[in-house]
DNA sequence: CATGCCACTGAATCTGTAC
DNA sequence: GGTACAGATTCAGTGGCAT
């Protein structure tokens, strides 16, 4: 197979351009599609025919239908090019997010979360007839119910005062120096803040991953991808936007040190160590008594790396679960050994010592 | 025309019961329909306790298509009975809100706002696989594009420290004494907080208005309507819920004085700021070296908002604590960055800058 | 009576690998 | 594909009870 092009901007309709890409070749799709539901003038059907102005119910239905057709067309291609364990992100407001979400579900994506971008500095409602429109909605979905997207849980938690990252993200609009301008006018009407893409990409991708943005605009996705050591493929119809995006991304520095980009490793991915290895290594002798943190439960270490309690024997996990009458148990943190006279520590310490040994 | 019955609970299917009501007879419809959750297995907390999920029959649907058909049927009736300038409110989560929103638009309602109920105390994600599901979404819509729903802009603004009420509402879950229980068990799995209905009804209805709730459950809508001097029509299939609702509403006092109907103040807690936001905002680039006040300890900023020192990585707090061999550490005051050549300042400055951003 | 500790709980599409 | 099993994983708040 030819090498997948990346770190490029393709000029054209996103549906046509995606069709040229092979199956399952990108790790993340981020899409900020046009809203256009009210501004019927520039809404076109997938076949490029125009939708007429809207005044009555039939036309309204017709325009929703055209938007839905367009949505399903590009989402289908996005699904095809997305890897099995890839992530789809779409963003929208109440004008279009319900159409997007319904299409995402109907096509068989599996929603992981919806996320609200709460704007710390939204535009006020000048007429006083509605609530200040202070948020937009993102949908994070897997390619299918079986997909297992990357999720850097521990990174997010560490970055969030050591509590889980929630589904509401408070971030400012894209303003100031970050906002691209030309002759004093903004280049793109809905440029997204880099902080938003930063969080999305650190959460659901890894360095080296390929991020596809079918509505590239002025290239926020590309700029953040480059800064975070990800690769990008942008698709955009408008030449003005492409030029602005290209200049912008060229000015971004790639990170010097790969280590600064790596997410905190997930304990689940650490090499597997069996309790038998602890016994083999002589860290615990057969016959040693282990106890739970409070000393309520006890069991003896057996030479084969299993545990024996009064009426039961088996793995450190099984025995712990049975004694507690629980469906499961992490024996590594449940069982403690006497590290010094009267001082107990979880046997997970011993596992860590084995993992730290040079291999 | 016969006088419209009100302050009653109708026992039956909401579609059938609504069909018995005349056209354009209610001012507000508030609907909290089944979410169509698809829970496969039991879920346990890390302490092995079981999560009491929503497994009721009424929440089960065969398919998206069946759910959509049901949705369109009850929404059509709701639209018919709604007055020309009435308000529709629906609430849901990512499982169903996109279906609801699409149906609302297709039927010709006109969305005024979507509103997010940000939960101050949501249930965490116990497996570390997703973002904490910390919000639900409401849709506020007019009967048609020509509808002009009641909107008490000035009371909301007065209740919100004289700034416009926004589309994100931070409110706690329904817990404590407000939560209806019977023999220690919750009567209804998804009872909504009264504060939520309070804000909805003070915003988009007037005293004396009729509020229809086709999924009445244990009657939060009725209780708040009565307290606020509105009338209500509840529809509910389940006799147990109806009985609980009736008792509950009977215990609510109607207001003696119209002047007492002022809206509740909007609680606004300062949002938590994580170190990740500092990195996302571009205030510190990945690879930047931080040091403690005396320069003894150093660590590098990572792109994901964690810190990396020689042998350890984690949050600013964890890394600071480990390096000092202390049980805990306030990373915001411990770590310093080079603000100017040779001049260091605590990173707490950067947090303050984020907090100072307009909200 | 104040304080601290422990138990309990909430609309949840909540694992990964080997055999 | 199904089964078995190792083992990773929680925040804000309420309420009861002991000290």
Give B-chain residues touching A140 at CB under 8 angstroms: 131
Say whether A343 sits in a helix, a strand or coil.
strand
| Spatial distance between the Cα atoms of B162 and B157, rounded to a whole number of angstroms | 5
Q: What angle do CA B7, B11, B16 make, to 5 degrees?
A: 105
Give A-chain residues touching B39 at CB under 8 angstroms: none
- Within A50-196, strands assigned E span 82-92, 110-119, 135-142, 168-171, 181-182, 185-186
- Nearest residue to nucleotide C16, by CA–C1' distance, is A268
Q: Where are the alpha helices (DSSP H) in B82-162?
A: 97-106, 153-159
Q: How far is A242 from chain B (nearest CA, A)?
A: 24
Averaged pLDDT score across all residues of chain A: 92
pLDDT band, residue A55 (cuts 50/70/90): very low
| Residue B270 DSSP label | P
Q: How far is B277 from chain A (nearest CA, A)?
A: 8
Residue A164 near residue B131 (C-beta atoms within 8 A): yes
Query: Is residue A54 over pLDDT 70?
Result: no
Q: What string of H, E and C letters represents the secondary structure of A251-304?
A: CCCCCCCHHHCCCCCCHHHCCCCCHHHHHHCCCCCCCCEEEECCCCCEEEECCC
Which residue in B174, B169, B176, B261 sits closest to B218, CA to CA? B174
Query: How many CB pairs below 8 A link A and B?
Result: 237
| Spatial distance between the Cα atoms of B284 and A315, rounded to a whole number of angstroms | 47
pLDDT score recorded for residue A39: 44
| Segment (H or E) for A100 | helix A97-106
Nucleotide nearest the Cα atom of B35 (by C1') = C11
pLDDT tens, position by position, B235-288: 999 999 999 999 999 999 988 776 666 555 555 566 789 999 999 999 999 999
pLDDT score recorded for residue A49: 53
Choose the closest CB to B302 out of A256, A260, A328.
A260
Answer yes or no: do B272 and A229 touch at CB < 8 A: no
| Spatial distance between the Cα atoms of A71 and B127, rounded to a whole number of angstroms | 32
- Strand D bases within 7 angstroms of protein beta carbons: 5-15
pLDDT score recorded for residue A223: 98
| Spatial distance between the Cα atoms of B352 and B336, rounded to a whole number of angstroms | 14
Q: How far is B8 from chain A (nearest CA, A)?
A: 30
Residue B264 near residue B296 (C-beta atoms within 8 A): no
Residues with CB under 7 A from strand D: A 153-154, 157, 162-164, 266-268, 270, 272-275, 314-318, 328-333, 348; B 44-47, 120-128, 132, 172, 175-177, 272
Answer yes or no: do A158 and B304 touch at CB < 8 A: yes
Choose the closest CB to B134 out of A129, A158, A166.
A166
pLDDT band, residue B4 (cuts 50/70/90): confident
Buried b (16+ CB within 10 A) or exposed e, B80-102: ebbbeebbbbbbbebbbbbbbbb
DSSP A232-244: EEEEES-HHHHHH
Distance of C1' in D1 from CA in A109, Å: 22
Residue A106 near residue A78 (C-beta atoms within 8 A): no
Query: Is residue B111 over pLDDT 50?
Result: yes
In this structure, the strands spanning B168-171 and B110-119 are: parallel
pLDDT score recorded for residue A53: 43
**Residues in contact with B183: Cβ distance below 8 Å, sequence separation at least 6, in sequence order:** none
Q: How far is B292 from chain A (nearest CA, A)?
A: 19
Q: How far is A140 from chain B (nearest CA, A)?
A: 10
Sign of CA dihedral B192, B194, B195, B201: positive
Choose the closest CB to B105 out of A98, A121, A130.
A98
Give B-chain residues touching A262 at CB under 8 angstroms: 302
Q: How many CB atoms lie within 10 A of CB B158?
A: 14
Nucleotide nearest the Cα atom of A333 (by C1') = D7
Distance of C1' in D15 from CA in B177, Å: 11
Q: Which of B131, B328, B357 is the best mutation test for A, with the most CBs of A within 10 A? A: B131
Query: Is residue A52 over pLDDT 60?
Result: no
Say whether A220 sits in a helix, a strand or coil.
helix
| Spatial distance between the Cα atoms of B117 and B101, rounded to a whole number of angstroms | 16
| Spatial distance between the Cα atoms of B205 and B74, rounded to a whole number of angstroms | 22
Paired tokens of A164: 């889980």
The C-alpha torsion from B46 through B49 and B54 to B56, rounded to 10°, is 150
| Spatial distance between the Cα atoms of A148 and A261, rounded to a whole number of angstroms | 21
Query: For tokens 């919100």, what's the residue?
Result: B160
- Within A47-153, strands assigned E span 82-92, 110-119, 135-142
In this structure, the strands spanning A335-340 and A110-119 are: unpaired
What are the backbone angles phi and psi of residue A30, rounded to the nearest 5°? -115, 125
Residue A202 near residue A260 (C-beta atoms within 8 A): no
pLDDT band, residue A41 (cuts 50/70/90): very low
Paired with B141 in beta bridges are B88, B111
Q: What angle do CA A73, A79, A83 make, to 5 degrees?
A: 160
Exposed / middle / buried, residue B152 (Cβ in 10 Å: 0-12, 13-18, 19+): middle
Please tell me which residue, A132 or B255, carries the higher pLDDT value.
A132
Query: Is residue B1 over pLDDT 80?
Result: no
Query: Is residue A249 over pLDDT 70?
Result: yes
Say whether B90 sits in a helix, a strand or coil.
strand
Paired tokens of A47: 């076949």
Average pLDDT over every residue of B3-19: 95
Q: Where are the alpha helices (DSSP H) in B206-274?
A: 220-227, 239-250
The C-alpha torsion from A158 through A163 and A166 to A171, rounded to 10°, is -60
Residue B167 near residue A133 (C-beta atoms within 8 A): yes
pLDDT score recorded for residue A294: 84
Residue A171 near residue A192 (C-beta atoms within 8 A): no
What are the backbone angles phi and psi of residue B153, rounded to the nearest 5°? -50, -45
Average pLDDT over every residue of A287-314: 94
Answer yes or no: do B99 and A99 touch at CB < 8 A: no
Answer yes or no: do B281 and A195 touch at CB < 8 A: yes
Q: What angle do CA B239, B240, B241 make, to 5 degrees?
A: 90
| Segment (H or E) for A98 | helix A97-106
Query: Is residue A38 over pLDDT 60?
Result: no
The count of residues in chain B is 359
Query: For tokens 């040079």, what's the residue?
Result: A358
Choose the closest CB to B44 out of A118, A260, A327.
A327
Exposed / middle / buried, residue B256 (Cβ in 10 Å: 0-12, 13-18, 19+): exposed
Q: How many CB atoms lie within 10 A of CB B49?
A: 9
| Spatial distance between the Cα atoms of A283 and A357, rounded to a whole number of angstroms | 13
| Spatial distance between the Cα atoms of B199 and B57, rounded to a whole number of angstroms | 30
pLDDT tens, position by position, B186-236: 999 999 999 999 999 999 999 999 999 999 999 999 999 999 999 999 999
- Strand C bases within 7 angstroms of protein beta carbons: 8-17
pLDDT tens, position by position, B46-78: 999 999 999 999 999 999 999 999 999 999 999
Average pLDDT over every residue of B161-179: 94
pLDDT band, residue A295 (cuts 50/70/90): confident
Query: Is residue A51 over pLDDT 90?
Result: no
Query: Is residue A214 over pLDDT 80?
Result: yes
Give B-chain residues touching A255 at CB under 8 angstroms: 286-287, 303
Answer yes or no: do B359 and A324 touch at CB < 8 A: no
pLDDT score recorded for residue B272: 85
In this structure, the strands spanning B210-213 and B231-236 are: parallel
């Amino acid at each position: 197979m030819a090498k997948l092009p990346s770190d490029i901007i393709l000029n054209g309709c996103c549906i046509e351009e995606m069709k040229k890409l092979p199956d399952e070749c990108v790790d993340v799709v981020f899409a900020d599609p046009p809203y256009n539901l009210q501004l019927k003038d520039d809404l076109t059907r997938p076949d490029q025919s125009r939708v007429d102005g809207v005044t009555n119910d039939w036309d309204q239905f017709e325009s929703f239908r055209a938007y839905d057709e367009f949505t399903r067309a590009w989402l289908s291609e996005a699904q095809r090019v997305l890897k099995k364990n890839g992530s789809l992100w779409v963003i929208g407001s109440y004008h279009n997010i319900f159409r997007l979400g319904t299409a995402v579900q109907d096509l068989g994506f599996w929603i992981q979360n919806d996320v609200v971008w709460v704007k710390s500095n939204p535009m006020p409602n000048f007429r006083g007839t509605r609530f200040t429109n202070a948020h937009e909605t993102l949908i994070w979905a897997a390619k299918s119910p079986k997909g297992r997207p990357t999720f850097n849980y521990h990174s997010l938690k560490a970055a969030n005062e050591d509590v889980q990252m929630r589904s509401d993200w408070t971030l400012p609009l894209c303003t100031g120096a970050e906002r691209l301008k030309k002759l004093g006018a903004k280049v793109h009407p809905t440029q997204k803040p880099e902080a938003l893409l930063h969080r999305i990409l650190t959460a659901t991708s890894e360095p080296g991953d390929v991020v596809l943005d079918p509505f590239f605009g002025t290239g926020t996705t590309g700029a953040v991808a480059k800064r975070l050591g990800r690769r990008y493929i942008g698709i955009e119809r408008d030449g003005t936007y492409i030029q602005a995006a290209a200049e912008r991304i060229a000015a971004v520095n790639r990170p010097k040190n790969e280590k600064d980009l790596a997410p905190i490793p997930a304990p689940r991915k650490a090499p597997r160590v069996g309790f038998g290895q602890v016994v083999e290594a002589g860290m615990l002798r057969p016959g040693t008594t282990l106890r739970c943190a409070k000393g309520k439960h006890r069991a003896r270490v057996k030479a084969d790396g299993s545990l024996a309690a009064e009426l039961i024997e088996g793995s450190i996990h099984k025995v712990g679960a049975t004694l507690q009458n629980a469906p499961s148990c992490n024996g590594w943190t449940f069982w403690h050994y006497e590290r010094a006279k009267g001082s107990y520590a979880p046997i997970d310490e011993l596992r860590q010592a084995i993992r730290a040994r040079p291999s």
